Amino acid sequence: FQWGATAAIVQGLFLAGLPLTIARVLQYLRDPAALVMELKDRRFQGIPGETLGEFASAYEASVAAEEIARVRELDDLLHYVKLDSDYYAKMIGSFVPQLERLSAGPRREILSPEPTETDREVLSWPSIDSRGLVVYFYLGSLHGEESANALGRMLLLDLEAHLASRYSYAPEARGRRLT
């Protein structure tokens, strides 16, 4: 359940064109309806509806009338929004503290910087790869094994996604070594 909800949030953020940060995932995991309305404003302006319910109904009617194609990312988000709020909170309840640890205090600026709100250079795998930088993560410095495990998994998954996109969408990079 937690994986599905998080994947829906991440796909919604991507579809909305919002920067993907741990803090933003946490924000919208707590309130997926807000992300649906953000998507409405950014990607689905042609679908009427001032409230979430009106928008969801108008979206379903537009899909049924074949005016627009079904958008899987929006469908996934709407699935989680339509669940009983107590049930949803209970199901994500054990995951939220992990994200809170990774996005609180000084870790927020390091692990989850908002690109428009920081003075520091925000590193990404594409910029690291193109500049040939070396990245060292000292996960032992994090408080608790759970935080280190969560961050390590997230870093490896993010690197894997970068490599997959590089080899899928940049044919000239296929034979090039990652340094």
Q: What is the DSSP string of 71-99?
A: -HHHHHHHHHHHS-HHHHHHHHTTTHHHH
108-136 average pLDDT score = 77
Is 105's pLDDT higher than 80? no
Position 179 scores a pLDDT of: 53
Distance CA 39, CA 174 (A): 34
Would you state the pLDDT for residue 176? Answer: 64
**Percent of the chain at pLDDT exceeding 90:** 32
Look up the pTM and report it. Answer: 0.67
- Kindly give the interhelix angle for 2-16 and 85-92, rounded to the nearest 10 degrees: 100
Is the model more confident about 108 or about 61? 61
pLDDT classification of 171: cutoffs 50, 70, 90: low
Which band of pLDDT confidence, cut at 50, 70 and 90, is reported for residue 80?
very high
As a whole number, the mean pLDDT across the chain is 84
Q: How many residues does the chain have?
A: 179
From residue 105, how far is each of 28, 109, 120, 138, 171 by CA, in Å? 19, 8, 16, 18, 41
Predicted confidence at residue 174, as pLDDT, reads: 64
Average pLDDT over residues 103-126: 74
